[in-house]
Homo-oligomer: A and B are copies of this chain.
């Protein structure tokens, strides 16, 4: 059986250089060789979030993307503090569920229909009705494929409720959607390694403002592993070129991440993001040309790292996905509540969408088209 190319919304396909870095022979986590690599990775993480403010802080930890939710809950939210979750699907709702472990006061403002973003007036009304310590926005909800306009939401929060910390779940958005950490006044971004960053899963990557760090440092500790105050001196030390210890970092993953970051930043992050938008638009146009209906209600709210689309009438989902797999590509099923059997998801991030193997996305589309013809 030949290998299937992975076109789910993460993990995505990885470049040979990244995979080779995964096989880096053993190094001590406090060796000069590793310290130099971790230092470079941390410095380049700043560039991915377009941040130059020296008081911000990147964190690169061993863990799944989900660990990022824990960092928010355990460091930025107190037991009775109100949190507003802007929800566009499964992952937004699960972020809320994670926060409910840490506070009894989580409100959700959702989209009017599945596949749409949350309207600004709905968010504004919530912010005016109650004082929120934290607002969370899932930039791309990987369940719906909806892109939230973080820039507009952040501007609204700054205007209506400036003391509210702005937290962005960018797991499926980092390196394929615009995000300007300093300029937009974001306080915390969490992401994962295995999506548009193009590195295998296993790293939780996050980025904190001074305001977020101050809050975390004043916070009563409720977690050990997910403690920002415990990781902070370690991250600062490595970025300054000295090893430090709290828990053993995932040496090989950090090597791979470092290589992946160079690919993301070459020739420029702006080019990379633009290329994702172009690949996404082309793929969505192609699907629509077959009469397939997208889940996202308009291109304005459609993410560029994945496409979510309804199975056409008369097409059985499992049979269709199985045919696409027979044609060489693994896609993802739907994942949101009652809709989950009605749509499928295609990830198009990284090397197979905008890198040296970008023709694979066209091949993926051909495989989908063939499977659709055979499924009717």
Please give the residue numbers on chain A whose beta carbons come within 8 Å of chain B beta carbons, in ascending order: 3-6, 8, 10-14, 19-20, 22-31, 33, 61-67, 69-70, 73-74, 97-98, 101, 192, 194, 200-202, 221-227, 246-253, 330, 332
Contact = CB atoms under 8 A, between A and B. Distances in A.
Contact of A62 (B14, B201, B246, B247): B201
8 contacts: A6-B31, A19-B25, A20-B23, A61-B64, A63-B63, A66-B225, A70-B223, A222-B222
B29 A11 contact: yes
A353 B200 CA distance: 29
Q: Main secondary structure on chain A at its contact with chain B? A: loop
Contact of A26 (B13, B26, B65, B97): B13
A61 B62 CA distance: 10
Contact of A252 (B13, B22, B226, B248): B22
A46 to B, nearest CB: 23
A69 B227 CA distance: 13
A272 to B, nearest CB: 19
A22 B25 contact: no
Nearest to A14: B26
Given A73-B224, A192-B248, A248-B10, A201 B66 contact: no
A230 to B, nearest CB: 9
Among A10, A20, A29, A202, the one with the most B-chain Cβ atoms within 10 Å of its Cβ is: A202
Contact of A221 (B8, B66, B101, B248): B101
B25 A250 contact: no
A221 B104 CA distance: 12
Nearest to A31: B330
B27 A6 contact: yes
Contacts of A3: 25
Nearest to A25: B3
A64 B247 contact: yes
Nearest to A19: B23
Contacts of A22: 22-23, 252
Nearest to A220: B101
A24 B202 CA distance: 14
The 4 closest A-B pairs by CB, nearest first: A202-B250, A64-B247, A66-B247, A98-B224
Contacts of A227: 101
Contacts of A64: 61-62, 225, 247-250
A237 to B, nearest CB: 15
B63 A248 contact: no
A63 B66 contact: no
B248 A11 contact: yes
A225 B223 CA distance: 10
A63 B65 contact: no
A349 to B, nearest CB: 11
A141 to B, nearest CB: 15
A11 B27 contact: yes
Among A6, A98, A223, A253, the one with the most B-chain Cβ atoms within 10 Å of its Cβ is: A223
Contacts of A33: 4
Contact of A23 (B11, B23, B30): B23
Contacts of A201: 29, 62, 248-252
Contact of A202 (B14, B252, B330): B252
Among A65, A201, A332, the one with the most B-chain Cβ atoms within 10 Å of its Cβ is: A201
A330 B29 CA distance: 11
Contacts of A11: 26-29, 248, 251
A8 B31 CA distance: 10
A6 B25 CA distance: 9
A30 B248 CA distance: 28
